[in-house]
Amino acid sequence: MIPVFLETILNTASVSGCEETNQKLALEYLRDIAEEQKCDAVGNAYSLIHRDATCSVMLSAHMDEIGFRIVQIMDDGMLKVQEAGGVYPALYAGAPMQIIHETEDGIVCVPACCTFSDELLKNSDVKDRDLVLDIGASSKEEAETIVSIGDPVCADTHARELLNGRITSRALDDKAGVYVILEAARRAVEKGASCGIIAHTSVGEETSGRGAWFAGTRMKPSCCIAVDVTWANDCPGGDPAKNGDVRLGKGPVLCMSGMVNKKMNALLKKTAAECGIPVQYETAGGRTYTDGDILTMTGSGIPMALVSIPLRYMHSSVEAADLKDIEQCIELIAEFLLRIDETFRYEPLEV
Ligand SMILES: [Zn+2]
């Protein structure tokens, strides 16, 4: 079974830059245990637990998903789109789509078809501007009564269960991570963790990283754990030489990278061993291409560890993950929070 909260945020569109609906749900989810909740000018949401503790750990995952925005409404009522995040436009030819339009009475999801032609199907390098959406309007004027320039657009798909506890959805990147950090905060409190916890759901990771920058500079935690998805390579075309031998169902992924704090990684590894949680490793020669990169380089620097959920078919409408990995990421982070305090030393050298 897909946990209800996870299913709700997966099915509720939050294209990069338009995350508000889901951000409200994230705050509601931790309202009962948060001492304080905050948002900021870019739309980040924060739940603070044990806010006066000397050691504060920011758990960070991004609420935005990839998609498009309407860039042009044509005379015949058809719509052109511009990408928002790292989409593969070719994947949308012939797909059901939705446009998220805000009205005075609330948000309306307008159904649309992404059209295709023989010419488009032969195009090996489809760009966002090659896609045309049909909402059934017969003129520009009619379309303009229903949608507006700038409206976010994404595939109109719902989360589904596959065999063996695996799930598929268009936005597991990174709503699976959001679910992990919110649940890990809750579980850590239940287990009696005393460190400060800032559960941070970020905006704009897929487009700019602005959410992470606002969060790191303002909240100044002692350290942070970024939770995102990473490429599982046990699928057609998968190549372990890309980022490591990462598989679905084999546990949380720790990142071996100069961006990641070695001491925190070691504590995560030790915690996993003590709790019988399997871990996998990925490598990043330089940046990790997650919010973790930005968090660790804000202000005077924030020690960072990256915990990733293995994911097949990243940045598509059929991303696939294993619920067991998600559960083990929650448990690993909750147990880490029990083991870290103000005596923890982040420096890799003895002086
Ligand atoms: Zn992501």
**78 CA → ligand 1 middle, Å:** 31
Q: So what's the pLDDT on residue 326? A: 98
Q: So what's the pLDDT on residue 39? A: 98
Q: So what's the pLDDT on residue 141? A: 98
Q: So what's the pLDDT on residue 262? A: 97
Q: So what's the pLDDT on residue 186? A: 98
Q: What's the pLDDT tens digit per position in 312-327?
A: 999 999 999 999 999 9
Strands, E assignment, the chain: 36-39, 45-49, 56-62, 67-73, 79-84, 96-103, 106-114, 132-134, 152-155, 160-161, 166-169, 196-202, 223-231, 253-257, 280-284, 304-311, 319-322
Q: What's the pLDDT tens digit per position in 99-133?
A: 999 999 999 999 999 999 999 999 999 999 999 99
Tell whether domain 4-65+170-339 is in CATH 3.40.50.2020. Answer: no
Q: So what's the pLDDT on residue 256? A: 97
Q: What's the pLDDT tens digit per position in 188-223?
A: 999 999 999 999 999 999 999 999 999 999 999 999
**118 CA → ligand 1 middle, Å:** 33
Please indicate whether the domains covering 4-65+170-339 and 67-155 agree at the CATH topology level: no
Q: So what's the pLDDT on residue 86? A: 97
Q: Confidence band (pLDDT; 50, 70, 90) for 307?
A: very high
**205 CA → ligand 1 middle, Å:** 7
Structural fold of domain 67-155: Elongation Factor Tu (Ef-tu); domain 3 (2.40.30)
**228 CA → ligand 1 middle, Å:** 5
**138 CA → ligand 1 middle, Å:** 37
Q: What's the pLDDT tens digit per position in 254-268?
A: 999 999 999 999 999
**153 CA → ligand 1 middle, Å:** 18
Q: Where in the chain are the domains?
A: 4-65+170-339, 67-155
* Residues forming a β-bridge with 67: 84
CA distance from start to end of the chain: 51
Q: What's the pLDDT tens digit per position in 16-58?
A: 999 999 999 999 999 999 999 999 999 999 999 999 999 999 9
State mean pLDDT over 132-147: 98
- Quote the pTM value: 0.97
**316 CA → ligand 1 middle, Å:** 12
**204 CA → ligand 1 middle, Å:** 10
Q: Confidence band (pLDDT; 50, 70, 90) for 96?
A: very high
- Chain mean pLDDT for the chain: 97
The percent of residues above 70 in pLDDT, for the chain, comes to 100
Q: What's the pLDDT tens digit per position in 67-91?
A: 999 999 999 999 999 999 999 999 9
**314 CA → ligand 1 middle, Å:** 9
**8 CA → ligand 1 middle, Å:** 18
Assign 3-class secondary structure to 255-293. Answer: EEECCCCHHHHHHHHHHHHHHCCCCEEEEECCCCCCHHH
Ligand 1 is a single-atom ion; what residues have CB below 5 A from it? 173-174, 228
**145 CA → ligand 1 middle, Å:** 34
The string of DSSP codes covering 193-257 is: --SEEEEEEES-TTTT-HHHHHHHHHH--SEEEEEEEEE--SSTT--HHHH----TTS--EEEEE
Residue 183, SS3 per DSSP: helix
Distance, CA of 171 to CA of 316 (rounded, Å): 8
